[in-house]
Every structure is written in structure tokens, then in C-alpha cells.
Amino acid sequence: MNEFAPLLAQTVASRRESIIGFLRDLIAETRHGEAAVLRAIAKASADMGCLVEWVEYDPQAVPMVEEFAAEDAMTPGLRQCVVARIGTPGAGRSLLFFGHPDSEPLSRLDEWRHDPFKGEINGDRIHGWGVADDLAGVAIYTQAIALLKACGLQPKGDVILVSTPSKRHARGVSALLHQGLTADAAIYLHPAESGLGMKEIKAFASGQLEFRIRVEGAAPPTTEPLQTAFAHLAVNPVAKAFRVFEALMRLDERRGAQQHHPLLHQAVGRSTNLMVSTMNCDPADSLSRVRSECWLGGAISFAPPEPMAEVMRQVEEALAALGQGDPWFREHPPQLQWESGVTGAEVSSEHPLYRALAGAIEQVTGHVPQVNPMHTSSDIRNPMVQKGIPTVGLGPLCGDLSQNGQTDEWVDVEDYLSAVAVVATTIVDWCGVEPVRAGQAA
């Protein structure tokens, strides 16, 4: 057992109200927007003796490595990150923590039973706008440093606390990585939507591609406003869209039989899926007229280490093959539009980072954590794919996320407190600690 574990546990108990209070402060700031949340994080970090830097960047200027997104999928304009450092570079192993301060746009506030900005505690849950996505994550690594300071300790190796926008492809952590930020390992702090909370570690993320396909049709040769009687002379894009759907499902079956990752197969019995999630036609009031086009949309999940480009190639070939037996598709091929894509990444449960974090969880909670492989497109992929930095994720139990259209978003209070102790314990094990130096904040 870590020699400091009992002291850390006792200090979490004695600082309980302060640790929860910081999370409540962040919840309150969400009323005033992302910049206000970042200012609160920066102040708290500086008060603990961290060296704080503000970094401005343009999401659309960040290099894309094994990922892409349509331009209109990104919110335009400059964004800001807060980077806080503590410890001595080279004195021990370095560790990067990151989470995102931006939350969903405020909406449906009148449907909440708890005030979205007060951090109300009801039973074992603390409620608030963005508390699970991702204010708790940011609060955990900030309070972990505060916990060490309260114990008279500070990291020996370099610890970097990064609060970076993430939603709508804001790509804050990627921007920093491409500007030269690096570490021996990284941990993404984000509450877990799986229902397992601190009983799991995110060490596996499937890749994902999102797509739309336009299918063209042709009206029958008539000037009659009602075309039902002429339907046999038309090319109905709805019928053609079903042909496209069938081709995609055949590809899905082939991929499902060919691709195999043991973690995914153990969890759900399948390692890849192609899901068509929407189908719609051009708007028209009349139900008696042939539409000019039909759109399908969906997503594909794929396990590492399968390359994203290979998955895209298979979809493109499946659509191109439709023209071999269909003169219409030969002259009017389905038009594929890739909306976004990210590749997958994985850290072995034998990796020193995983073992350090798993050991800390077991010391603090008594549970041996498991890998949950169902976090498709998780942000743990970013440091791994962008710069080869091994990365895992962690977070307390949560639910009713605004991102999922729910209200009264919450995080489990005891799991949140445990996460603070786990992160502090991991810093001790990974980076080493030393007494707080004279003149530094404590």
C-alpha cells in the first residue's frame, strides 16, 4: 500500500466540504459561461502554487491526425485553455490530466427539479448544469493537488492540469499537444456514463465514423400534380435508398464476422457495428408526389488497431458495387458524405499507467477496477493518437446528462470524493512527492 494512502484518506474526510464546495463553485459559474469557469479554475490553480498559463487557439487550425470533421461541425472562433503546472520537470515521471470546462448550451432549465446552478445535494447526488460533463472531472484533478498540499506534499515530477474545450470538435487538448505539450502519460478525468463509476477504467476506445448518403430519384413524365398513377414510371429514391441500406447491412454482417477484439466480444459479442440511424427525403407537402432525393445517415464503430482509412474504403466499395447490377446507380451513384471520424486507441491492462491507477482505485475504494470497452470515440484517444502518449480515463458515477436530453444532471458525491483521493494517490505513485517547499502555497 502507498505509505501516504491513510493520510490522504483522512484528509479527504476532513476537507470534504471544501472539496465539494469547489465543484459547487464551478457549477455556479456555468451560468456566466465557459470563460467564467476557466477563470475559477485558473485562480484555484494559482492559489495552490501552480504556474498558470492561458493559451488561445483556433480549432479549425489544429492539425488533424487520424480524425476529421466537417467544417460546419465545429463552432467557429478562437477558444482558450488553462494550463497549470506543478512539480519539477525531470525530477520524476510526468503526468498530464485533462478535462473540459465547456458544457452543453443552456436549455430547458425550467424542467429541472433542482436549481441548475446551485450544486444542490439530494441524497448521495450533487446536481448541476455540466456537473457530469465535465465540471467534476476538472474539479477532481484540481482538488487532488489541493489535497496533496493540505498533507504538506507536492508532486516531485511534472504534473500538468489542462482544462480544454472539447465539445463540437473544439479539440483543445489536441491543440496543446501540437503546440508541444507532452508528458510520460495522461489521464482523462470525466464521470462515467456506464453506471460503474469508480469501478472501471477507460483504457479502450473504439473509433467511429459518421456519414450521410444522398440517393437521387426521378419524377415520372407527367405534369399531373398527383403522381401516384404514374409511380411505375418514376425512380423512387425511397426504394433506391432501401437498396443502399441493404448493401450497408451486408457490409455490416461481413465486418461483424471478420473483426474480433476480445474485450468487445466479451462485453457485447461483437467488435464492430454499422448503424443506419436516419432516413429522410426532401421536404414536400404532398404524399402523392415522388421525392427527388432521399438521405440516409449513420455511424460505424471499429476497434483498434483497424485503420480508419480501411473502414472508409470498405464503405465506398460497397456503394460503388451497387452500380454493377443497377443501371440507375451506374449513372446516378449514391453520394457519400463523411461527416466526422476518429480512430480508436487502447492501453493494455499490463501497462504501468494502468497498473498505477488500478492500484490507487483498489487502495481507496477496495474495488479491483475493470476495463469498460464501450466508450466509443472517448477523448482518451487524443494524446495516444496525436502524440503517442499512453492515456486512460477515470470518473465517478453520474447520470441524467443534458447531452443525452435529460434534466437534473448529477454526480455521485462519494464517488467524486473517492476520485480525488485516487488521483492524488496516483500522483504519489507515478510522479513521486516531496514536502511543500517554503514560501509555496499550501
DSSP characters over 27-64? HHHGGG-HHHHHHHHHHHHHHTT-EEEEEEE-GGGSPP
- Can you tell me the distance from the alpha carbon of 128 to that of 121, in angstroms, rounded to the nearest whole number? 9
Q: Which residue has the cell 496525436?
A: 386
pTM above 0.85, yes or no: yes
- pLDDT tens, residue by residue, 283-299: 777 899 999 999 999 99
Cβ 194 vs Cβ 372: under 8 Å: yes
- pLDDT tens, residue by residue, 175-188: 999 999 999 999 99
Residues of the chain with CATH 3.40.630.10: 5-205+345-435
**pLDDT (0 to 100) of residue 60:** 87
At residue 56's C-alpha, the angle toward residues 416 and 144, to 5°, is 20
- Can you tell me the distance from the alpha carbon of 219 to that of 286, in angstroms, rounded to the nearest whole number? 13
**Between 4 and 57, the higher pLDDT residue:** 57
User: What's the residue count for the chain?
Assistant: 442
- pLDDT tens, residue by residue, 210-229: 999 999 999 999 998 888 99
- Can you tell me the distance from the alpha carbon of 189 to that of 132, in angstroms, rounded to the nearest whole number? 10
C-alpha cell read off for 6: 491513510
C-alpha cell read off for 388: 503517442
Q: Which residue has the cell 476495463?
A: 371
Across the beta sheet with 410-412, the strand order is 121-122, 125-127, 410-412, 398-399
The CATH code that applies to domain 207-342 is: 3.30.70.360
Looking at the domain 5-205+345-435, which fold is it? Aminopeptidase (3.40.630)
**pLDDT (0 to 100) of residue 160:** 98
- Can you tell me the distance from the alpha carbon of 178 to that of 373, in angstroms, rounded to the nearest whole number? 27
Closest alpha carbon to 60 in 51, 69, 49, 48: 69
Cβ 141 vs Cβ 148: under 8 Å: no
- Can you tell me the distance from the alpha carbon of 73 to that of 29, in angstroms, rounded to the nearest whole number? 26
Angle, helices 136-150/5-14, rounded to nearest 10 degrees? 110
Across the range 261-272, mean pLDDT stands at 95
Across the range 397-409, mean pLDDT stands at 92
Concatenated DSSP letters for 403-439?
GGT-SS-EEEHHHHHHHHHHHHHHHHHHH-EEEPPTT
Across the range 8-26, mean pLDDT stands at 96
Q: Which residues of 114-131 are buried (b: 16+ CB within 10 A; e: fewer)?
A: bebbebbeeeebbbbbbb
**Between 393 and 171, the higher pLDDT residue:** 393
**pLDDT (0 to 100) of residue 432:** 95
Could you say which DSSP state residue 285 is in? S
Percent of the chain exceeding pLDDT 90 equals 83
Residues of the chain with CATH 3.30.70.360: 207-342
- Can you tell me the distance from the alpha carbon of 430 to that of 407, in angstroms, rounded to the nearest whole number? 38
- pLDDT band of residue 1 (cuts 50, 70, 90) is low
**pLDDT (0 to 100) of residue 170:** 80
- Can you tell me the distance from the alpha carbon of 8 to that of 266, in angstroms, rounded to the nearest whole number? 36
Cβ 211 vs Cβ 299: under 8 Å: yes
C-alpha cell read off for 279: 432516413
